[in-house]
Amino acid sequence: MIELAQIEGGGDGVLVSLASLSRRYAKMHGLVAVEWIVHAVSCAKPNLKLRRVLEGRGFIVKQIEGVGEAYPSHRYSLGRPDASWNSGKPQDVSKPRRDVMAAFFLWCILFVLCWPIAILALIAYPFVWLLLLPFRIIGIAVHGVLALVWALVMLPVRLLSAPFRLA
């Protein structure tokens, strides 16, 4: 069982890192499941992003005897990675796998209906991917520039809302 009360200066990736670390520790020691209780419900400075992430992962605020309000009993089996922190929401876990399976199934149908086009598609796919690669790189660069501009625009707001500002 993992109980989290406060993660000082954790940032966005700390829960993913803790989940990965706990999974490795549990596998090393032969544990079959990990249970989480997060006590970040009523803090002096609540992190709204953490609440949104926890609720997106299936955590629900409940009253626990002797503890108070917390996000209890989110349990995932080590044999099933579908409910872990790294794989997204539990209901969206198999989506990438389903997409690959659907593409393969559609290719099989195309192969049965018209095998020359199916073989041509199979051969042309890597070349189309290489052709579109520069556009992906440009998209990543534009996303980075827009994130930088947004950070610069929001900098005064972040500075004014800092806890150490002069009254």
Tokens 């998209």 belong to which residue? 139
Q: Measured between alpha carbons, how far is 5 from 156 in angstroms, rounded to an integer?
A: 31
In the chain, the DSSP E strands lie at 2-4, 33-38, 62-64, 68-77
Cβ atoms 44, 76 nearer than 8 A: no
Residue 89 pLDDT level (bands cut at 50, 70, 90): very low
Cβ atoms 71, 40 nearer than 8 A: yes
Record the tokens describing residue 3, joined without a space.
């109980």
Residue 133 pLDDT level (bands cut at 50, 70, 90): very high
Q: H helices then E strands: how many in the chain?
A: 4, 4
Mean pLDDT score of the chain: 75
Residue 22 has pLDDT above 80, yes or no: no
Cβ atoms 77, 108 nearer than 8 A: no
Residue 88 has pLDDT above 50, yes or no: no
Q: Measured between alpha carbons, how far is 108 from 106 in angstroms, rounded to an integer?
A: 5
Residue 41 pLDDT level (bands cut at 50, 70, 90): low
CA 62, chain centre distance (Å): 23
Partners of 35 in beta bridges: 75
* 43: three-class secondary structure by DSSP: coil
Q: How many CA atoms lie within 13 A of 132 on its CB side?
A: 6
**For residue 75, with 0-12 CB atoms within 10 Å meaning exposed, 13-18 middle and 19 or more buried, which class applies?**
exposed
Tokens 């700390």 belong to which residue? 14
